[in-house]
Amino acid sequence: MERKHDGHGRDAPRDGHRVMAWADALAAHSDRDGELTLTYCTPAHLACAQAIGGLMREAGFDSVERDAVGNVVGRYRGTAPDAHTLLTGSHFDTVRNGGRYDGRLGILVPIAAVARLAAAGRRPSFDLEVIAFAEEEGVRFRSTFLGSSAVAGRFDTGVLETRDADGISMAEAMRGCGLDPSAIPALARDPSRLIGFIEVHIEQGPVLLGQGLALGVVTSINGGVRRMIEIEGLAGHAGTTPMTGRHDAACAAAEIVLAIETRCAREPGLVGTVGQLEVPNGSTNVIAARCRLSIDVRAPVDAQRDAALADIDREIASICARRGVTWRSDEVMRAAAAPSDPGLMRAWSRALESIGLPAFALPSGAGHDAMMMASLCPQAMLFVRCGHGGISHNPRETIRADDAQLAVDAFVAMLDQLDAAAVARAPDPAPTETGPT
Ligand code: HGY
Ligand code: MN
Ligand code: MN
């Protein structure tokens, strides 16, 4: 394919610009004006799903459907009879006031690749299934990986009764946008029919930017645990209650936040974040009776993460005992660290080298649908350089059109690599039955 640019984005060719324009178009669907916030089963979420389905149809997929959990699934048939399936995709929901490439890039790059193949009348030997996962971030209902857990056969039906901030249950929200929770278990894919799962994702960090590289192969995805901590103290008059002897839930929380930061800063690779911190029904002139905070702890190795969590629990218990407040902890997410499949990593590396790029490898600090899909089949990811210092989960998240172009080139090259491997693996065609001579 003719490329008109010199790699510095001065004149990125068609697919790169098309991916950027599609990302802009999908970003127009938001729960809130003036920012990109797209949460599960809102009207904007449904409109975005429909827009993705439209892009798939225009690209030339053989079938496009919205499944029972709200994933948008495009299938592009392979040439081999009884072909196995390569799964790919990522999520289209976002964090609050998020970026327009997180998740979406892993949907739009494969769509652009299929459009390129369809336009050239080309098909891989295997079936390709591009899945726009309906929910990964866990913003509206705190549960995460809803879309990919359904495909992996790990959907926890218990979450159907969780309620959002307005008291709407997930099951009600799903039915309200035409989904059928009872049909979710049937979405589980048969692992024996799968080649694996590959995911393209914006790096959401500064490593590729620092290396001056457009793309990188992911070695493993950090394992994460998310918890909600509720602290119960004693309300009191802000003006008449002496400072000694207070049971101030907010002060306990403040000590806990800093204890988490101190513990997680002690080891390379370990990260800990309190992203939510609130005094429910608080008043300026009342000592905080309650305080709620979220904890997100991650590490490349589950044991490292769990050791940090055990220390954090001990620290919370000590702080609360000293301050005379009580606490409870609810675990809302636990995702095991997911090493990439070596064979798929090698295929990504060969794909990059085949388009003239170094096969640079790096770990993922962020969580991805690929870690859920790792329970179903082999997985490996491709990262795309993240601009603005690598910032993400922020509207300043950005990529370059020529990097998007290279991502499409690499994706098509990856299909070629997997095709060559499939052909190499394919048993010699059975000798055709020769009739009586
Ligand atoms: O939190 C994460 O790492 C991902 O963006 N859900
Ligand atoms: Mn994200
Ligand atoms: Mn993501």
- Note whether residue 7 is domain-resident: no
- Note whether residue 153 is domain-resident: yes
Which atom of ligand 1 is found nearest the CA of 103? 5
Number of domains in the chain: 2
Q: In terms of DSSP bridges, do strands 290-299 and 215-221 run parallel, antiparallel, or are they unpaired?
A: unpaired
What is the identity of the amino acid at 239? G
Which atom of ligand 1 is found nearest the CA of 136? 6
The alpha carbon of 366 and the centre of ligand 1 are apart by a number of angstroms equal to 5
* Spatial contact of 112 and 15, defined as CB atoms under 8 Å apart: yes
- Asked if 150 and 280 sit in the same domain, the reply is no
CA distance 78 to 110: 15
- Asked if 368 and 329 sit in the same domain, the reply is no
Q: Which of 377, 329, 437 is nearest to 89 (CA)?
A: 377
Residues with CB under 6 A from ligand 1: 136-137, 366-367
Ligand nearest to C-alpha 133: 3
CATH number for the domain including 107?
Answer: 3.40.630.10
DSSP 3-state helix, strand, coil percentages of the chain (rounded to 5)?
35, 20, 40
The alpha carbon of 204 and the centre of ligand 2 are apart by a number of angstroms equal to 8
Q: 174 exposed, middle or buried (CB, 10 Å; 0-12, 13-18, 19+)?
A: buried
pTM of the model: 0.89
> Which of the listed residues 292, 320, 335 is the one where a domain comes to its end?
335
- Note whether residue 69 is domain-resident: yes
CA distance 196 to 344: 8
What is the identity of the amino acid at 383? F
- Asked if 312 and 358 sit in the same domain, the reply is no
Indicate the top mutation candidate among 93, 104, 137 to test ligand 1's pocket, ranked by most ligand atoms within 8 A of CB.
137
Which atom of ligand 1 is found nearest the CA of 296? 1
- Note whether residue 8 is domain-resident: no
Helix (H, G, I), strand (E, B) or coil at 45: helix
CA distance 205 to 185: 35
Which atom of ligand 1 is found nearest the CA of 392? 5
- Note whether residue 432 is domain-resident: no
| Confidence (pLDDT) at 156 | 95
- Asked if 204 and 276 sit in the same domain, the reply is no
- Asked if 314 and 367 sit in the same domain, the reply is no
* Spatial contact of 148 and 133, defined as CB atoms under 8 Å apart: yes
The alpha carbon of 277 and the centre of ligand 3 are apart by a number of angstroms equal to 23
- Asked if 172 and 284 sit in the same domain, the reply is no
| Confidence (pLDDT) at 427 | 55
The alpha carbon of 205 and the centre of ligand 1 are apart by a number of angstroms equal to 12
Ligand nearest to C-alpha 364: 1
Indicate the top mutation candidate among 204, 226, 294, 364 to test ligand 1's pocket, ranked by most ligand atoms within 8 A of CB.
204
**Upper half-sphere CA count for residue 80 (Cβ side, 13 Å):** 18
Is the CA virtual torsion 357, 361, 362, 368 positive or negative? positive
Residues in the chain with pLDDT values less than 50:
1-11, 431-437
- Note whether residue 434 is domain-resident: no
> Which of the listed residues 317, 335, 353 is the one where a domain comes to its end?
335
Tell me: the pLDDT tens digits for 235-272?
A: 999 999 999 989 999 999 999 999 999 999 999 999 99
Which atom of ligand 1 is found nearest the CA of 137? 6
> Which of the listed residues 311, 335, 359 is the one where a domain comes to its end?
335
| Confidence (pLDDT) at 434 | 42
- Asked if 342 and 319 sit in the same domain, the reply is no
Maximum separation of any 2 CA atoms in the chain, in Å: 107
| Residue with the two structure tokens 């800093």 | 258
| Those residues with Cβ within 8 angstroms of residue 157's Cβ, 6 or more apart along the chain or in another chain | 181, 184, 185
- Asked if 56 and 176 sit in the same domain, the reply is yes
Beta strands in 254-376 (DSSP E): 271-273, 277-278, 290-299, 326-335, 338-339, 361-364
Distances from the Cα of 57 to the Cαs of 114, 138, 222, 348, in angstroms?
A: 10, 28, 35, 27
Which atom of ligand 1 is found nearest the CA of 366? 3
The alpha carbon of 185 and the centre of ligand 1 are apart by a number of angstroms equal to 24
The alpha carbon of 95 and the centre of ligand 1 are apart by a number of angstroms equal to 9
Which atom of ligand 1 is found nearest the CA of 367? 3
Residues linked to residue 88 through DSSP beta bridges, in sequence order:
130, 198
| Those residues with Cβ within 8 angstroms of residue 393's Cβ, 6 or more apart along the chain or in another chain | 95, 98, 99, 102, 204
CA distance 7 to 256: 47
- Asked if 149 and 287 sit in the same domain, the reply is no
* Spatial contact of 297 and 271, defined as CB atoms under 8 Å apart: yes
- Note whether residue 109 is domain-resident: yes
- Quote the tokens at residue 373: 């899909």
Q: In terms of DSSP bridges, do strands 290-299 and 271-273 run parallel, antiparallel, or are they unpaired?
A: antiparallel
| Confidence (pLDDT) at 424 | 62
- Asked if 373 and 318 sit in the same domain, the reply is no
Indicate the top mutation candidate among 95, 226, 364 to test ligand 1's pocket, ranked by most ligand atoms within 8 A of CB.
95
Helix (H, G, I), strand (E, B) or coil at 85: strand
The alpha carbon of 357 and the centre of ligand 1 are apart by a number of angstroms equal to 27
CATH number for the domain including 253?
Answer: 3.30.70.360
Q: What residues have a C-beta under 5 A from ligand 2, the ion?
A: 102
| Those residues with Cβ within 8 angstroms of residue 156's Cβ, 6 or more apart along the chain or in another chain | 143, 149
What is the identity of the amino acid at 10? R
| Confidence (pLDDT) at 425 | 60
Task: Name the residue range of residue 319's domain.
Answer: 227-335
- Asked if 30 and 154 sit in the same domain, the reply is yes
- Asked if 30 and 112 sit in the same domain, the reply is yes
- Note whether residue 189 is domain-resident: yes
